[in-house]
Copies of this chain bind each other. A is one copy, B any other.
Amino acid sequence: MNSSTNQKLEIQKVESSRIAEVDFNNLTFGSAFTDHMFECDYKDGEWQNPTIKPYGPLTISPAAKVFHYGQAVFEGMKAFKDDNGKVWLFRPEQNYLRINKSSVRLAIPEFPRDVFFEALTTLVKLDKEWVKPGQGNSLYIRPFVIATQVGVSASPSSEYKFMILMSPAQAYYTGDVKVVIADHYSRSANGGVGAAKAAGNYGAQFFPTNLAREKGFQQVIWTDASKHEYLEEAGTMNVFFRVNDTLLTAPISDRILDGVTRKSVIALAKNDNIAVEERPVSVAEIVEAAKNGSLKEIFGAGTAAVISPVSAFSYQETIYELEKQEDGFATRFKKELMDIQYNRSEDPFGWRYEVV
């Protein structure tokens, strides 16, 4: 863990808020940003000068290493406002631990815990009017780190910038999600960076996802790069399969993101006495289960959409439709998760984190 010489958080407030300019009933995910952002630079071996300042553009060299070598990692997390106006984060410790895990894999120095939590809570408090109450409304929070050293030699940067941006979000209605099971392109390799929330993992998926979209599918479920025999994740979501009443999901590995929603679903399922198997799930068994009717549900689990039920999947040009389950596992876990997130139920796992 790297220390920081000057850890006193400086706060530069906006002169006037932009909140009145934002139409909270017509938000496009991740495109509007709150009044303030957090910035902290790594230089001379230390994280320095943590600062909250008005959201605005960066001045950065075109030779900064992030542009050339993708040395960048990020997190996605949310704050929720309950009916009494209190604001809560959901399992922020998980995001803190994971961004540092991602940083280690990308040769980026870890960020100090106390600075992360002070910045995060101060920022949410400052911009708490941007968190709207009501089901589905939230504040999407994006911590990220970029390599800022000037120079185009392919080696780790000596300078970095850690930032937090915040964006108000509405219910993320994904519609009817249809997915393609990958049989040619891949997301990650054994021994690669798939388990890290590395920036490059996402850009690499855009082209094969575009190919799927052209055929009417919204997402790709990635499979192992060696033989495309085992189901992995959907790129922005982990994936669960319900066969009869058992929940199946791929185990965490160096190819798969250790999703916070994923592990929360597993905890909820176990608490509800639902059988959960974290093991390699083969394409063949899911195709077979779809054919014999034992495949009841597929759903994605991720911070942005919480739970996304999948209505159909395509594998090698054959489309398998799933019957809509009004009271299925997806509906159940989504409700249980959101009730905890919005402080409408008990929190037996200690997942809520009160900010203000």
Q: Which residues of A contact B (CB under 8 A)?
A: 28-31, 33, 37, 55, 57-63, 65-72, 74, 76, 104-107, 140, 142, 144, 146-147, 150-156, 163, 165, 167, 182, 184-193, 198-208, 210, 225-226, 235-236, 304
B191 near A192: Cβ-Cβ < 8 Å: no
Q: Looking at the complex, which one of B55, B61, B72 makes contact with A203 (CB distance below 8 Å)? A: B72
Nearest CB of chain B from residue A8's CB, rounded to whole Å: 22
Specify which of A198, A205, A235 lies most central, judged by the most chain B CB atoms within 10 Å of its CB: A205
Complex copy number for this chain: 2
- Contacts A58-B61, A62-B57; A207 near B152 (Cβ below 8 A): no
- Which listed residue, B58, B69, B186, touches A189 by the CB 8 Å rule? B186
Contact of B206 with A62 in the complex, beta carbons under 8 Å: no
Which residues of chain B have C-beta atoms less than 8 A from A140's C-beta? 152
A167: which of B60, B152, B198 is its contact (CB, 8 Å)?
B152
B57 touches A59 (CB 8 A): yes
Whole-angstrom distance between the Cβ of A56 and the nearest chain B Cβ:
8
Nearest opposing residue in chain B for A207, CB measure: B107
Chain B minimum-CB-distance residue to A196: B204
Closest to A182 in B: B191
The answer on a CB contact under 8 Å between B199 and A69 is yes
Q: Kindly identify which residue among B63, B66, B167, B189 contacts A33, using a CB–CB cutoff of 8 Å.
A: B63
State whether A207 touches B62 (Cβ < 8 A). no
Contact: B204 with A106, CB < 8 Å?
yes
Contacts of A71 in B (CB 8 A): 202-203, 206
Pair A199/B68 contact, Cβ less than 8 Å: yes
Nearest 6 pairs of A and B residues by beta carbon = A200-B200, A70-B200, A189-B189, A70-B199, A189-B225, A71-B203
What is the CA–CA distance of A304 and B163 in the complex, to the nearest angstrom?
Answer: 33
Contact A70 B105 (CB under 8 A): no
B204 & A70 in contact (Cβ 8 Å cutoff):
yes
CA distance A69 to B205 in the complex (A): 10
- Determine if B190 and A186 form an interchain contact, defined as CB atoms under 8 angstroms apart: yes
A183 to B: closest C-beta gap in Å: 9
Interface pairs (16), CB distance under 8 Å: A28-B151, A37-B62, A58-B59, A59-B59, A65-B203, A67-B146, A69-B200, A71-B203, A152-B167, A184-B191, A185-B191, A186-B192, A187-B192, A188-B189, A199-B200, A200-B200
Q: Is the CB of B200 within 8 A of A191?
A: no
Shortest distance between the CB of A239 and any CB in chain B (Å): 16
User: With A151-B30, A198-B203, A206-B107 as given contacts, are A192 and B70 in contact (CB-CB < 8 Å)?
Assistant: no
Q: A70-B70, A104-B207, A198-B204 are in contact. List 12 more A-B contacts (CB 8 A).
A: A30-B152, A30-B153, A31-B153, A57-B61, A57-B62, A68-B142, A70-B200, A70-B201, A106-B206, A140-B152, A156-B206, A156-B210
